[in-house]
Amino acid sequence: MPGLLFFLFIFSFSIVSASTKQGQVYIVNLGEHAGARAKEAILEDHHALLLSVKGSEEEARASLLYSYKHTLNGFASLLSGEEATKLSERTEVVSTFRSDGRWSPHTTRSWEFVGFEEGLRGLHSKERLPSGDNTSENVIVGMLDSGIWPESKSFGDEGLGPVPARWKGVCQGGDSFNSSSCNRKIIGARYYLKAYEAYHGSLNTTYAFRSPRDHDGHGTHTASTVAGRTVPGVSALGGFASGTATGGAPLARLAIYKVCWPIPGPNPNIENTCFDADMLAAMDDAVGDGVDVMSVSIGASGKPPPFANDGIALGALHAARRGVVVVCSGGNSGPAPATVVNLAPWILTVGASSIDRSFNSPIRLGDGRVIMGQTVTPYQLPGNKTYPMVYAAHAAVPGTPANVTNQCLPNSLSPAKVRGKIVVCLRGSGLRVGKGLEVKRAGGAAMVLGNPPMYGSEVPVDAHVLPGTAVSNANVDTILKYINSSASPTAYLDRSRTVVDVRPSPVMAQFSSRGPNVVEPSILKPDVTAPGLNILAAWSEASSPTKLDGDDRVVKYNIVSGTSMSCPHVAATAVLLKAAHPDWSAAAIRSAIMTTATTSNAEGGPIMNGDGTAAGHMDYGSGHIRPRHALDPGLVYDASFQDYLLFACASGGGAQAQLDRSFPCPASPPRPHELNHPSLAVHGLNGSRITVRRTVTNVGQHGARYSVAVVEPAGVSVKVSPTSLSFERTGEKKEFTITVEEKGAKVDRKYLAGSYTWTDGVHAVSSPIVVLLP
């Protein structure tokens, strides 16, 4: 697992939760609101429901944590298991489920590189992105994360006009945060921790601010990636990645919803958790406040929940009904298959890939060979001389488990064997930066961090606490062969430098979670990929670059990797589309981003994985985002709230999957793959034939005529009918069918991939076809 990638596994501590005596926090979902009602009336309805299972009105009111009033009709309350069961049996209740801490955050040059992917190499940097005119000043992005560091120059409001008149949010005060912390850039901020405190007890303010202020750094990083202002002269610690920092939509407004908090334990700086009830309250407020786009770099650890019990999915569904685009990270549990999260089709789910920048750090071996590493560590080995080199597995203390002797885990190294030496450690268990801390504790002079085979050539960089660099799997194999063949192996780590225009790029990050979709295989996930490896953005000055205890360094900007970093790139793209097309639905914007994505790298070749294999649709979905192309997609696949409810009925197996009480599941809902979605995933063919119907809407010029080109998956026949579509006017809709049939050929793969593309000579509206094999 990547060390500082922020897709952190939630684990249980042997502590007594604050809610033990009061019950657990449950979310009670009542579906959509039945018409416009006063907030007070909705609250009283929720109190009345609680009174039906509680002993007194006082107890009912005391148990209520949140009343969801804007989008989803429901509430979060402290309930016993018996009380929750009784509520779930009532006819007005759609579902009842526990609010768990199974959620966590998924943790400059990247926007220039997105321009290269558009085929715009050689243009001035300001031309490499879609228009940043003043229309995006009217777009509001809601950030669900760990808060914000408002003093960062990335959040200045110089030159911005008045706050949009439709904004209804607040600037909630608290620890080191007051109304003056907001401005015309950060136009609102709130924080939510009732469910967190119900489980973990009162917040330890040594490690977090009881306010929207960010103690962690993650929320500040994602917010500046979406909408940070243009700030020249920015770099990470040590001067790496120097240049001008900017968000994808630098004029957009930010609304901050802090929902993630430190997990009590050995090092609360490292791990954050987020609870369903707190996130649903934030999403409900965000829609009521008037946001247009939500960026949510958060996901479930472990097995993803079904849609009916998924707080993010429920919040996103009701937000989408009101035109809000919800973009989520896909997770950092790759490259294993079936690890992607945030799986609902009304969510835009993002994988992570590299950009064209590296931080080259030559390693000079004693035999004269030079091995290239990467690092953003500012420290240098003293003197221009070689140092003894040792493999961690040869220097582990007795009793270290045999399978982790090479991992440099805490207290695993013998000072007598590593003192004054360069120690070669392998990635795997533990934090990458924690390995450097262990080498330093044992007296080592420097560290070389090598990839195991699963990570291939992907090299996330870190600001280690001692001289150190990281190398690919092939390069660490070379170094280990040298150590094993030499009686006195030595090396020297040269100074690192920033290199741009690295090829090939993008490359899919190995940590990026992969498909297929374990909740509903008929929906391909992730949807797209975007830059998420070694991304420079603003950081909290309350957090060090490594977040390790004892690291007292303060930085204004930091380099971090994860799908948490790719998610805001796509959220910014959604902002630009919302500014250009304010009347488009959330589904239309999602479609435009997906159907204009590319499966080619910047050189025109296929996108590869970090281990050197060819990437595919289970890795990157529809492909790498191209914001400029997305502004003019030609055709879009639209879908309504009712379409999604029908999909949920089919996906979840009938009445138990009902997501809204006003819309009972029909006896025979359309099959999940019949949702009008921009990609097509089919499973369970078993020699049969399926036909699905799709509808496209013309958002280009009138008089357009499109023809279809099909790339058939191996061993599968795909027929599209009709093969051409003509549109007399903008806004006109046309239907077509896709028939998929196995040809009978035996193929030794888990899935087969192809595509179909509608073209009119100007636009190419491309959709992946994935056939999952049993």
pLDDT 10s digits, 520-530: 999 999 999 99
The residues, ordered by sequence, that sit 6+ positions from 62 with a Cβ below 8 Å of its Cβ are none
Are the C-beta atoms of 444 and 472 separated by less than 8 Å?
no
State the first-to-last Cα distance of the chain, in angstroms, to the nearest integer.
28
Rounded Cα distance, 630 and 337, in Å: 28
Q: Which residue has the tokens 């992105």?
A: 129
**pLDDT on residue 353:** 95
- Which amino acid type is present at position 246? T
Does residue 564 carry a catalytic annotation? yes
507-508 and 608-609: which strand pairing? parallel
Helix 311-321 vs helix 586-595: angle between axes, to the nearest 10 degrees?
110
The number of residues making up the chain comes to 774
In angstroms, the CA 167 to CA 561 distance is 33
pLDDT digits 0-9 by tens, 601-615? 988 999 999 999 999
For residue 507, what are its two tokens? Answer: 């490359």
pLDDT, residue 107, reads 62
Listed ranges 256-265, 398-407, 587-596; the one with the highest mean pLDDT? 587-596
Contact at 8 Å (CB) between 171 and 179? yes
Q: Which helix (H) or strand (E) covers residue 321, if one does?
A: helix 311-321
- Mean pLDDT (the chain, rounded): 90
Tokens of 705: 């005529």
Of all residues in the chain, the percent with pLDDT exceeding 90 is 74
Say which of 564, 566, 651, 679 is annotated catalytic.
564
pLDDT digit string, tens, across residues 331-356: 999 999 999 999 999 999 999 999 88
pLDDT at 115 over 60: no
Structure tokens, 397: 């203390």
564-600 pLDDT, tens digit per residue, is 999 999 999 999 999 999 999 999 999 999 999 999 9
Distance CA 592, CA 544 (A): 38
Extract the tokens encoding 379. Answer: 């420290």
Report d(CA 205, CA 210) in Å as an integer.
Answer: 7
Burial of 80 (0-12, 13-18, 19+ CB in 10 A): middle
CA distances from residue 505 to 116, 235, 740 in whole angstroms, order as listed: 10, 22, 33
**CA–CA distance from 152 to each of 156, 459, 568 (Å)?**
7, 28, 18
User: Which tokens sit at 667?
Assistant: 């006896």
208-222 pLDDT, tens per residue?
A: 999 999 999 999 999
Give residue-wise pLDDT tens across range 458-513.
Answer: 898 998 999 999 999 999 999 999 999 999 999 999 999 888 888 888 999 999 99
> Among residues 241, 289, 293, 352, which one has the least CA distance to residue 621?
352
User: 73: left (phi > 0), else alpha (psi -120 to 50), else beta?
Assistant: beta
Number of H helices, E strands in the chain: 16, 38
Identified catalytic residue from 46, 77, 145, 617: 145
What are 12-53's pLDDT values in tens digits? 222 334 443 458 999 999 988 876 778 888 999 999 999 999
- Angstrom CA distances, 487 to 481, 674, 692, stand at 12, 66, 67
Radius of gyration, CA atoms only, the chain = 26
What tokens were used for 664?
Answer: 């009972």
Strand partners, 560: 535
Whole-model pTM?
A: 0.90
The one catalytic residue among 47, 70, 106, 218: 218
CA distance 515 to 537: 28
Beta bridge partners of 404: none
The residues pairing with 425 across neighbouring beta strands, listed in sequence order, are 449
Q: Is 145 marked active-site?
A: yes
Cα–Cα distance for residue pair 434/629, rounded to 1 Å:
42
* Residue 270 confidence class, pLDDT cut points 50, 70, 90: confident
Distances (CA, A) of 112 to 108, 128, 248, 579: 7, 6, 10, 20
Distance from C-alpha of 83 to C-alpha of 335, rounded to nearest angstrom:
41
